Amino acid sequence: MSTTDLTGTTFPEGFLWGGALAANQYEGAYDVDGKGLSIQDVMPKGIVAPPTEEPTPDNLKLEGIDFYHRYAEDIALFAEMGFKVFRFSIGWSRIFPKGDETEPNEAGLAFYDRVIDECEKHGIEPLVTLSHYETPLHLAKTYDGWVDRRLIGFYENFARTCFERYGKRVKYWLTFNEINSVLHAPLMSGGIWTPLQQLSKQDLYQAIHHELVASASVTRIAHEINPDLKVGCMVIAMPIYPLTPNPADVLKVMQADHDNLAFSDVHVRGTYPGYFLRKLRELGVELDITDEDRNTLKNTVDFVSFSYYVSICETSDPTKQTKGEGNIIGGVPNPHLEASEWGWQIDPVGLRIILNQFWDRWQKPLFIVENGLGAKDELVEVDGVKTVIDDYRIQYLNDHLVQVREAIADGVELWGYTWWGPIDVVSASTAQLSKRYGFIYVDRNDDGTGTLERHKKKSFDFYQQVIATNGASLR
């Protein structure tokens, strides 16, 4: 592999450096100020365990890190790191506690006013995800989530409420977090209460269609309310490599890529690609698509955003089709890569590859809205100050950003980079706090004990320096 020496090269002027979080993983206060339950409140073990019906004192999900009450302190720390952008989600059930009401909950709306006030105070641009794995529980249980067409209307109402309330102060919006994950995690991603094993392909793909129509519809609504708003889709990005050069392996890669890319293809092109229609035919799925749906889908996005954690391999050899750990979509492990403590394989070059792939495919501005390393941290005292010497996280960040710089040199148009979990939060897949991503340590343990005090890790200074030099300090 040849790598141009770009040491000292800076990122484009105005590059949006920052961090990303999701309401259900850090806000806490799950039942405060009129908030209704979301599906997350009944998923106490994260994605890996079936839900319980209601949270009980014995089976309550580990609450976030009380951002709900400490937002000013936390945003001040982000500002100290130099954040230009802060990605967060709006808890749908804070605004519409059940999801199908017509009138919003004012106390919920007021909370995000306060969060945006703090961002403005520090000159930080908000980047808001409308739906980040937190469908109101009532919509999941009563309607089977996105399987039901009526969800489109409820979501439009929620989105319109947010655009009208915050649209003068929030320019960047994402419709659904990692929308392509619904194929693998229908409850978490699509609020679908029917367990995956019992869910028919017909219902799964109909739910996908409803989400895609809803996403396009609120893109139109956003632009009607304020033509300056920038609306993006958000997908799991994952380079897939053939395990061998066998054409059968390469074909497997193409088909797996299609599964992932169909979602952003529709968002960018405004119509279903032929390979997707073929897949539906082969599955025997006949989608209910109205003429109005087809028109709505033509409201395409302004940019494509994505999370990037892992790459995987594909093989046509049935004896090698093991499934390694990874971000929701696991795959055949790559013998050339090391993995994190949670088995997620680390591949900085894959980030350059995916940036090029996406840019070549759509020629739309890109935004990396998640990337990060979940690791076990040890709190130590240095000169009387509590900290974490997280050189492994610094290495990960540096190596990925070097590849981002390479991709920019390749000609990719990239608006920004938000590290996942700039402060330790509850993991989406395992509901642990000990899977830490943060530059800021939070004193909270998996059993809920801890003072919730915040401590800067070594990586805090590193990222601060990267931002201050607009990337020139990368090694």
Residues with active-site annotation? 178, 370
The number of angstroms, rounded, from the C-alpha of 266 to the middle of its chain's C-alpha atoms is 18
Q: With respect to ligand BGP, which residue has the nearer C-beta, 21 or 337?
A: 21
How big is the site for ligand BGP, counted in residues (CB under 6 A)? 14
Beta strand segments in 65-177, E:
85-89, 125-131, 172-176
Q: With respect to ligand BGP, which residue has the nearer C-beta, 211 or 370?
A: 370
Say if residues 357 and 341 touch (Cβ distance below 8 Å): no
Q: Which of 26, 133, 150 is nearest to 77 (CA)?
A: 26
Residue 327 within binding range of ligand BGP, rule CB under 6 A = yes
Q: Among 32-40, 212-220, 348-356, 425-433, which window interacts with ligand BGP (CB under 6 A)?
A: 425-433
Among 22, 159, 262, 375, binds ligand BGP (CB under 6 A): 22
Q: Among 31-39, 253-261, 348-356, 428-436, which window interacts with ligand BGP (CB under 6 A)?
A: 428-436
Min dist CB 376 to ligand BGP, Å, is 12
The number of angstroms, rounded, from the C-alpha of 20 to the middle of its chain's C-alpha atoms is 8
Q: With respect to ligand BGP, which residue has the nearer C-beta, 185 or 297?
A: 185
Q: Which residues pair with 233 in a beta bridge?
A: 304
Decide: residue 194, CB within 10 A, 0-12 exposed, 13-18 middle, 19+ buried.
middle
Q: Among 145-153, 191-199, 330-338, 421-429, which window interacts with ligand BGP (CB under 6 A)?
A: 421-429
Min dist CB 436 to ligand BGP, Å, is 10
d(CA 471, CA 475): 9
Q: With respect to ligand BGP, which residue has the nearer C-beta, 104 or 372?
A: 372
Residue 428 within binding range of ligand BGP, rule CB under 6 A = yes
d(CA 387, CA 406): 32
Q: Which residues pair with 306 in a beta bridge?
A: 235, 368
Residue 177 within binding range of ligand BGP, rule CB under 6 A = yes
Among 40, 131, 403, 427, binds ligand BGP (CB under 6 A): 427
Question: Which 280-309 residues touch ligand BGP, going by CB under 6 A?
Answer: 307
H/E run at residue 76: helix 67-81
Q: With respect to ligand BGP, which residue has the nearer C-beta, 179 or 231?
A: 179
Question: Which 40-69 residues touch ligand BGP, going by CB under 6 A?
Answer: none
The number of angstroms, rounded, from the C-alpha of 333 to the middle of its chain's C-alpha atoms is 22
Residue 420 within binding range of ligand BGP, rule CB under 6 A = yes
429, two tokens: 């897949």
Min dist CB 19 to ligand BGP, Å, is 12
Residue 328 within binding range of ligand BGP, rule CB under 6 A = yes
* Three-state helix/strand/coil letters over 404-449: HHHHHHCCCCEEEEEEECCECCCCCCCCCCCCECCCEEECCCCCCC
Q: With respect to ligand BGP, which residue has the nearer C-beta, 135 or 307?
A: 307
Among 144, 148, 178, 211, binds ligand BGP (CB under 6 A): 178
Q: With respect to ligand BGP, which residue has the nearer C-beta, 178 or 314?
A: 178
Among 230, 267, 435, 436, binds ligand BGP (CB under 6 A): 435
Site pattern 345..374 for ligand BGP (x: CB under 6 A):
-------------------------x---x
Q: With respect to ligand BGP, which residue has the nearer C-beta, 157 or 307?
A: 307
Residues 6 or more apart whose CB falls under 8 angstroms from that of 370 comprise 20, 306, 307, 308, 309, 418, 419, 420
Min dist CB 132 to ligand BGP, Å, is 6
Min dist CB 391 to ligand BGP, Å, is 20
Q: Among 55-63, 149-157, 420-428, 461-469, which window interacts with ligand BGP (CB under 6 A)?
A: 420-428
- How many C-alpha atoms does 389 have within 13 Å on its Cβ side? 3
Min dist CB 146 to ligand BGP, Å, is 17
Min dist CB 238 to ligand BGP, Å, is 11
Q: With respect to ligand BGP, which residue has the nearer C-beta, 42 or 428?
A: 428
Beta carbons within 10 angstroms of residue 302's beta carbon: 17
Say if residues 259 and 238 touch (Cβ distance below 8 Å): no
Beta strand segments in 287-379, E:
303-308, 312-314, 366-370
Residues 6 or more apart whose CB falls under 8 angstroms from that of 452 comprise 65, 66, 70, 442, 443, 444
Q: Which of 277, 217, 232, 203 is nearest to 368 (CA)?
A: 232
Catalog residues that contact ligand BGP under the rule CB under 6 A: 22, 25, 177-178, 307, 327-328, 370, 374, 420, 427-429, 435
